Structure 1
Amino acid sequence: MQPMHQLSDQQLIRLFADGNALALETLVMRYKDKIYTSIFLLIKDKYLAEDIFQDVFIRVIDTLRSGRYTDEGKFLPWAMRIAHNLCVDHFRRVRRTPVIKTSDDRDIFEVLHFTEEGADKKMMQRQSHDRVRKMLDKLPEEQREVIVLRHYGELSFKEIAEHTNCSINTALGRMRYGLINLRKMMAEKQIAL
């Protein structure tokens, strides 16, 4: 029999399915650099990339052991797709992570200033704010009022409800529809803030 490193991916997969753990080790060694590098370039965190890399091969092993692997001749693209999907899952989880608020209900990262902003960044922010103001002007009055009171006036929804003589649920609904309408305008005009 040929040495393990000379066998094709399919041969190694068949050997692993038959119980040869060295076959899987050979596959891992063959592709570990490519898979890890692709994860690291997306995640940009060495330790997190290592965790995701391990998760990729846990999924690979589970799929191979259960006999569900069907990508004949395409082991690397299949493993890379698993890696990419795990990275996307990571970013989705991060997006759902709650925002840390200060005692006055502001996002902690809005309060902390780590570096001095450059003139180019300030100019881009000013342009973005101008675009937002123009889009806000196109919203129905009630939606615009709630968004302005919430984001610029930093009022709670209870305070907004009292100020606009409506229920909290109505204020929340107006905010939701206002944001939906803003997103639609941004998509139509292909604006990215």
Structure 2
Amino acid sequence: MDVTTYNDQELINLYLSGTDRAFEELLGRHQQKIYTSIYLFTKDHSKAEDIFQEVFIKIIDTLRRGKYNHEGKFLQWAMRISYNMCVDSFRRNKRRPQVGQTETFNIFDVLQSSEDNAEQGMIRSQTHDKVRKLVDALPAEQREVVILRHYADMSFKEIAKLTRVSINTALGRMRYALINMRKMVEEKEIVLQ
């Protein structure tokens, strides 16, 4: 059965009727976006993998119990679950001593890109690295909005609901994030190509 032509809701219905391949397709469609947003919050590869697995265990459990009721909004629902699990993980880890990170991860390693020649690939990689460092340097609330908006493709309405702030607050945080990133680019004379 070719499930690639079905939308998310149809895949969920197929999965619930016993077609495991439907869930594999659903996972395949959204895993990069969900994993990337988790990683950008945790900044730890192994922690992001753990949370990612927990997210999909919770999704499967919710679907099987018949508690899913977000027709047409699967990705936003999954992103909300991953966000909440990241927040929970952060709260748990805040109480524990932190061990220094030795592994680096670049979000753009998991994203697919068109074929470039070696020079274009190097330039793109360097630019992505610079942007990632700028985002990492933002205050937590601003970084959160940038990640949810640009990496998770969420609307400001969805971001406001997820982070439990007003839309104006979410918009303001994005505005200040962009202002701060521009200041950093000017102050450090960073060239983004």
Higher relative contact order (CA 8 A, sep 6+): 2
* TM-score, normalised by the number of residues in structure 2: 0.49
* TM-score, normalised by the number of residues in structure 1: 0.49
